[in-house]
Amino acid sequence: MKSNSDVHIDRHLNSDDLIVIAGAGGFIAGALARYFHNLGFTRIRAIDRKPLPEWYQRVPGVECLSMDLSEKANAIRAVEGAAEVYNLAADMGGMGFIEHFRVECLRSILVNTHLIDAAWRAGAERYFFSSSACAYNTDLQKDPHVRALKESDAYPAMSERGYGWEKLISEMFCQEYWAERGLETHFARFHNIYGPNGTWFGGREKAPAAICRKMLEAIDSRRHSIEIWGDGTQTRSFCFIDDCVLGIDQIMHSKDLIATPINLGSSELISIDNLVGMVEDIAGVKLTRTYDLNAPKGVAGRNSDNTFIRQVLDWEPRTTLRSGMERTYAWIAGQFADRKAGKRVVRD
């Protein structure tokens, strides 16, 4: 199986073809804009509804536009002249956000509805949609010792309310725009993407970042305790950001994955309790644990079955959780110190 350095991608793109990335003021799409810029692509249009000063990353030489793509006119403007369109724009966050703001999550379907139609009308060659493991049938995720989810497990449909249903319906848009209108579409079901330059406080952060922040707060306050949402037995797999953007690139440019669901995630399963223990080890501390059984905690267990991605791409995410968490903790520690010093930091 290929290592990241062995991956070769036939993109059939010129360096000056226009790449449009929606949601680029956020975590994953911001990393994707930097990724393509570093590969030498000279025309990248990055779009997000946040005001430019609030973007996580702004890459020199990349066109940055602040627009709400749930408005049809903005979607049409966004994709003018595009060769490829990557839609990673969504109102989302960790379980604390998606369980409490289901309407906001559902409204993200407006972005995909307008953007995919605009991309087709503009003659774009390829379109990518960022789906999620939240699209999977929740009845299969009631046990922490869950079997890994394969792509066919999305049906019969019983997605997570709000966010998960938006993803599943938007996947269908991608499939039908290929079947009926000939737009080459691709989409991947992300499994808990984490890493530097992501949300780490404010209510939208996911478990890896939240645990790192809570660890730093405990050390800083010297209270040496940490609150865990749920009973700590919930299990997840977490995919590092570098693997995610490389996976997006491969999936977008694979003729075997047109309008075809595919997992993009690590298969390294861990409980939340053990993730806390890993971060304790990285930080060099041992904390007293308390458990909030009434807090949002999501499904009991979720893992990525990577059989299909290995079969098609001869690759799967390769960064170990320990290595990724070391890099994530170090970055959040720097952000934590900056915020304490009164400097501006990444939030949401």
Backbone phi, then psi, for 82, in 5-degree steps?
-75, 140
CA distances to 55, 65, 106, 259, 324 from 90, rounded to whole Å, are: 14, 16, 9, 20, 24
Active site residues: 163
Provide the token pair at 23.
């949601």
Q: Are 167 and 297 in contact (CB under 8 A)?
A: no
Smallest Cα–Cα separation from 266: which of 186, 167, 192?
192
In whole angstroms, give the CA distance from residue 157 to residue 103.
19
- Strands (E) across the chain are located at 18-22, 44-48, 63-66, 82-87, 126-132, 184-190, 193-194, 225-229, 235-237, 239-240, 263-264, 269-271, 288-292
Smallest Cα–Cα separation from 49: which of 116, 121, 100, 115?
115
Residue in the structure block whose two tokens are 């865990």: 228
Q: Mapping DSSP to helix (H, G, I), strand (E, B) and coil, where does residue 25 land?
A: coil
In whole angstroms, give the CA distance from residue 64 to residue 245.
19
In eight-state DSSP terms, residue 52 is G
